[in-house]
Amino acid sequence: MSSTVITNIATLVTNDPSLGDCSPLGLIQDAAVVIDGDRVAWTGESSKAPATDNRVDAGGRTVLPGFVDSHSHLVFAGDRTQEFNARMSGRSYTAGGIRTTVAATRAASDDDLERNLTHYLAEALRQGTTTFETKSGYGLTVADEARALRIAAAHTDEVTYLGAHIVAPDFADDPAGYVALVTGEMLDACAPHARWIDVFCEKGAFDGDQARAILTAGKARGLHPRIHANQLSYGPGVQLAVELDAASADHCTHLTDADVDALANSATVATLLPGAEFSTRAAWPDARRLLDAGVTVALSTDCNPGSSFTSSVPFCIALAVRDMRMTPDEALWSATAGGAAALRRTDVGRLTPGAYADLTFLDAPSHVHLAYRPGVPLVSGVWRRGVPVA
C-alpha cells in the first residue's frame, strides 16, 4: 500500500478536539496529512511529518474533511422553474409540487434517472461533498420506488426509502390504503436496497400516527428511521423521531421548547436545511437555540427540484452563518462531523487516523472564508478515499 504526505497546508481541519487548537474543529496550522491507501494515517505539523513514498504540496491552501451531505433527493426527473418563479412572485410553498416531479420521474427511463443523478453528484463533488445520502420519494409505486433505490444504491451506501413522501396521487381517496402499501408490498420491494426509512410528517402528507406506523414497519425490516419533521408547521415529527431513536430529525424549522429539550436529551441529530428556507422564502430554523440547548446539529442541502435546488454545501454554510446565527466554526462542523453523526458514521466527516481520506481543498487561508466569501468557488481540489477526484 503506497503512502502519501500532503504538506504545506495553511489550516487543517481535523474535527478531533484533542488535536491542534483543542477546539471542536481541531485546527492545525502549517499542517500535513499522511494517507495510507484510502485512509488517513497521521495528521500534525508539517515539520513533524514522517517520510513517505509520495509528497504533495498543498500550496498553502486549507484542507477540510469532505462535506457529508446527509439529506438530498436526487433520483428525479423534470424541472420546477415555473413553481419557483411563482414563489418568487409571492406564492407560498406547498408540498403539492411534489406531484409534478412524481409524474416526470415515473415517465423517465432508468438511464434518464441515472444520468440526472450522476450529473448532480458530480456537481456536488466539485463543491467538496464526498459523502451523500439520497432518497426515493418521487416514484410512489412499488416499481418506481424500488427502481429509484436501486439506482441510488449504485452510487452511495446511504440510501433512504421515502415511499411516504406524500400520499400517491393514485390513492388520493384512500390514504390508509397507501400507508398499507408503503408498509407492505412497497417495503418488501424497497428494503433490500436501502439503509434508512424516512417519512414526511406534515399536514397534507402523513400525520404522527401514520408516520409512527411507517417507521415502525421499516424498523422491523432492519431499516433505521430518519424523518422530515416540523418543516412547514409545528407538529409531532420531532417527538416521534426521538421516541423511535431516529438518527436525524430533518428541517426542524418550527420547534416548541419541548421539542428542543427532547432533541437535547437524545441521540437524534437536528439536520438543518437552509437551502429550503432560501428557496421557499420561509423563516429560518433557529440554529442558535438548538446549539445553546446542546443539540447536535447537521447542515445539509436537501437538494431537490422543488424546495431547495442547490447541491452546494458551501452555499448552505454561508446561509447558516449569515441567517441562522451559527459561527463559521459551528457551520463547518455541522456540514462535516454533524452530517456524519446524522448518518451514524465515524469513518467520514473527520480527518483522524483510521478515517477515510476524503479531503476538500480550499483556495483560502482558513475555513472561515466559506462564509466570509459567499458564492465564490473556493473549492479547488477534492480527494475521495485517498485519490484526487476533482
Catalog residues that contact Fe ion under the rule CB under 5 A.
302
The values of phi and psi at residue 164, to 5°, are -95, 55
Q: Report what 356 binds from ligand NIG, Fe ion, none; CB cut-off 5-8 Å by kind.
A: none
Cα three-residue angle 242-26-249, rounded to 5 degrees? 15
Q: Tell me the closest approach of the beta carbon of residue 206 to ligand NIG, in angstroms.
A: 11
Number of C-beta neighbours around residue 188 at 10 A: 12
Residues that bind ligand NIG (CB under 6 A): 73, 95, 97-98, 101, 200, 228, 231, 276, 302, 304, 306-308
User: Which residue shows C-alpha cell 428542543?
Assistant: 260
Is 298 in contact with 272 (CB distance < 8 Å)? yes
Q: Measured from the CB atom, is 66 or 97 closer to ligand NIG?
A: 97
Q: Report what 319 binds from Fe ion, ligand NIG, none; CB cut-off 5-8 Å by kind.
A: none
Stretch (H or E) spanning 12: strand 3-13
Is 9 in contact with 32 (CB distance < 8 Å)? yes
Q: Report what 231 binds from ligand NIG, Fe ion, none; CB cut-off 5-8 Å by kind.
A: ligand NIG
Q: Measured from the CB atom, is 41 or 298 closer to ligand NIG?
A: 298
Relative orientation angle of helices 175-183 and 208-220, to the nearest 10 degrees: 20
User: Is 231 annotated as a binding-site member?
Assistant: yes
154 CB burial (10 A radius; 0-12, 13-18, 19+): exposed
Is 12 in contact with 366 (CB distance < 8 Å)? no
Q: Tell me the closest approach of the beta carbon of residue 344 to ligand NIG, in angstroms.
A: 20
Q: Tell me the closest approach of the beta carbon of residue 273 to ligand NIG, in angstroms.
A: 7
Q: Is 13 helix (H, G, I), strand (E, B) or coil?
A: strand
Is 70 in contact with 335 (CB distance < 8 Å)? no
Q: Report what 306 binds from ligand NIG, Fe ion, none; CB cut-off 5-8 Å by kind.
A: ligand NIG
- Cα 2 to chain centroid, rounded: 32
User: Is 302 annotated as a binding-site member?
Assistant: yes
Q: Tell me the closest approach of the beta carbon of residue 75 to Fe ion, in angstroms.
A: 13
User: Is 224 annotated as a binding-site member?
Assistant: no
Q: Measured from the CB atom, is 276 or 362 closer to ligand NIG?
A: 276
Q: Report what 349 binds from Fe ion, ligand NIG, none; CB cut-off 5-8 Å by kind.
A: none
Q: Is 304 helix (H, G, I), strand (E, B) or coil?
A: strand
Q: Tell me the closest approach of the beta carbon of residue 34 to ligand NIG, in angstroms.
A: 39
Q: Measured from the CB atom, is 63 or 269 closer to ligand NIG?
A: 269
Q: Tell me the closest approach of the beta carbon of residue 94 to ligand NIG, in angstroms.
A: 9
Question: Cα–Cα distance between 62 and 85 in angstroms, integer?
Answer: 37
Q: Tell me the closest approach of the beta carbon of residue 276 to ligand NIG, in angstroms.
A: 5
End-to-end CA distance of the chain, in Å?
A: 22
User: Is 193 annotated as a binding-site member?
Assistant: no
Q: Measured from the CB atom, is 270 or 359 closer to Fe ion?
A: 270
Which residue, judged by CB position, is nearest to ligand NIG in the bound state? 306
Handedness of CA 290, 295, 299, 304 (dihedral sign): negative
Question: Cα–Cα distance between 48 and 5 in angstroms, integer?
Answer: 11
Which residue, judged by CB position, is nearest to Fe ion in the bound state? 302
Q: Measured from the CB atom, is 14 or 268 closer to ligand NIG?
A: 268
Q: Tell me the closest approach of the beta carbon of residue 334 to ligand NIG, in angstroms.
A: 17
Q: Measured from the CB atom, is 95 or 371 closer to ligand NIG?
A: 95
User: Is 279 annotated as a binding-site member?
Assistant: no
User: Is 71 annotated as a binding-site member?
Assistant: yes
Q: Which amino acid is at 44?
A: G
Q: Which amino acid is at 187?
A: L
Is 178 in contact with 167 (CB distance < 8 Å)? yes
Residue ranges for the binding site for Zn(2+)? Answer: 71, 73, 228, 302
Binding residue numbers for 4-imidazolone-5-propanoate:
80, 138, 165, 231, 307
List, as residue ranges, the binding site for Fe(3+): 71, 73, 228, 302
Would you list which residues are annotated within the binding site?
A: 71, 73, 80, 138, 165, 228, 231, 302, 304, 306-307
